[in-house]
Chain A
Amino acid sequence: MDLIGTILWPLKWVVELLLVAFHWLFSNLGMGYNDGITWVLSIVGLVLVVRAALIPIFVKQIKSQRKMLEVAPQLKKIQDKYKGKKDQFSREAMSRETMELYKRTGTNPLASCLPLLLQMPIFFALFSVLNDAQRSNAGVGPLNQALATSFGNANLFGVAPLHDTFAQQWGLWTGGQDFNLSVMIIAATMVVLMTASQFITQLQIVSKNMSPETKASPMFKQQKIMLYLLPLVFAFSGVAFPLGVMFYWLTSNIWTMAQQFLVIRNMPTPGSEAAKAREERLARKGKLIATDGDVIVVDEAKKPAQRQQPVGKARAKKQTGPKK
């Protein structure tokens, strides 16, 4: 066994166990043992387990983001100090001071790249499990020969084998051989869906959940370019992956999108557009708590739905009295 294979072995084992467990569950619930949809749902189940396992990391991040509100005044002070200074040295000094503040107050809002690094091997493990299943090879553990054959030959909607890739079918097509058009259509649809979900996720962050200071940084400009380059990356890599792996990716993307939406809505970055929107929302309900513990109420000029009836002096006095 090669080095990478050895590293992936335990992960492949877990991935197979989850797949087989979900497959067992769904086929016992009355779904077809060899049906593509059963296997696709097993992949979706795998994603849910993996992403749910990553929730604690996410919750921790959210908690420190809540604490961020407490240090917001100090953060603002740093940002004001470097306001309008766009040169490299000032930016660097600003990042340094910000990071120091985070450490001092224990409010680091950043997640580190571990959640990403953790998911990558799982992704590769699934890829290699599917790749083996495609040749109907048994997996390293729970995925035995019979299950591997079933997985590899499972047809989605009865027409598109889960192990097929867009590129493979394209090769057959241009080679003048028999090819499976539905594989290409499904793969292309998924590339579009994946691009869309990733795009929305990024756009949500960029347009709503960034402080003006971050938006002014050169890093942000680079990120904005990537936002538009990403669909291309997806299209290229999406073409080469088997449908089964694409399902993992797509489900995971959708999870991220929903998670991001909830976070931006409920725990936005202080100073960002979303934070303002949240404050307004809360103030309208009289639930906004200031840092000193006071309830902030935003007076909103209510649009009169009806023309005010002219009233006599005596009645006007009554009306300004205590309301019920």
Chain B
Amino acid sequence: MKRAMITLYLIPRNVGVVLLRVYRAVISPLYGDVCRYYPSCSAYALGAVQEYGLIVGSFFAARRVLRCHPWAEGGIDDVPLKRHRRFGVTSFGFVVPLATERADPHVWTS
């Protein structure tokens, strides 16, 4: 029951994950490697939405896109991770509730 509730709660961010995966598969290659940061803006957005959900994650992503301009220093700029990770991530990128018997939250992270 709890699992179902969590799955429901995770729907918005997983919709975001699908959209970002489509963007990264179809639109990103059109202009190739241009980002001055690692991970690139869209990868950052994906990570942020997975970690913080659709709304807060989008906010993070928007801030990152604004940071990324030709005069920025660039470099490594990871999504700040939460201290307690409550969810797992499938290889596709979907955020899923952790199976209760699994103690290590990173078990599904590819």
| A contacts, CB < 8 Å to B | 57, 60-61, 88, 95-96, 98-100, 102-103, 106, 108, 110-117, 205, 214, 219, 222-223, 225-226, 230
* Cα–Cα distance between A98 and B40 once the two chains are bound (Å): 13
Question: A99-B38, A113-B68 known; A108 and B31 CB under 8 Å?
Answer: no
Residue of B nearest to A217 (CB): B33
Q: A112 — which chain B residues lie within 8 A by C-beta? A: 34-36, 68-70, 72
Q: A117 — which chain B residues lie within 8 A by C-beta? A: 65
| Residue B104 is within 8 A (CB to CB) of chain A in the complex | no
* Cα–Cα distance between A61 and B25 once the two chains are bound (Å): 26
Q: A57 — which chain B residues lie within 8 A by C-beta? A: 70
Q: A95 — which chain B residues lie within 8 A by C-beta? A: 38
Residue of A nearest to B67 (CB): A112
Cβ 8 A contact of B31, one of A60, A113, A222: A113
Contact across chains for B75 and A102 when beta carbons are under 8 A apart: yes
* Cα–Cα distance between A214 and B71 once the two chains are bound (Å): 24
Contact across chains for A103 and B76 when beta carbons are under 8 A apart: yes
Contact across chains for B74 and A61 when beta carbons are under 8 A apart: no
Residue of A nearest to B75 (CB): A103
Q: Which size class do B's interface residues fall under?
A: 20 to 34
Determine chain B's interface SS by DSSP, over half rule: loop
Residue of A nearest to B70 (CB): A57
Q: B74 — which chain A residues lie within 8 A by C-beta? A: 99, 102-103, 108, 110
Q: Nearest chain B CB to A196's CB is how many angstroms away?
A: 17
Contact across chains for A115 and B38 when beta carbons are under 8 A apart: no
Contact across chains for B69 and A114 when beta carbons are under 8 A apart: yes
> Knowing that A112-B70, A114-B69 are A-B contacts, what are 11 other residue pairs whose CB atoms are under 8 Å apart, sorted by A's residue number?
A61-B70, A96-B38, A98-B38, A99-B37, A99-B74, A102-B75, A108-B74, A110-B34, A111-B36, A115-B70, A219-B29
Q: A205 — which chain B residues lie within 8 A by C-beta? A: 32
Q: A88 — which chain B residues lie within 8 A by C-beta? A: 110
* Cα–Cα distance between A230 and B70 once the two chains are bound (Å): 26
Q: A219 — which chain B residues lie within 8 A by C-beta? A: 29, 32-33
Contact across chains for A113 and B75 when beta carbons are under 8 A apart: no
- Max chain A CB contacts within 10 Å: which of B35, B69, B74? B74
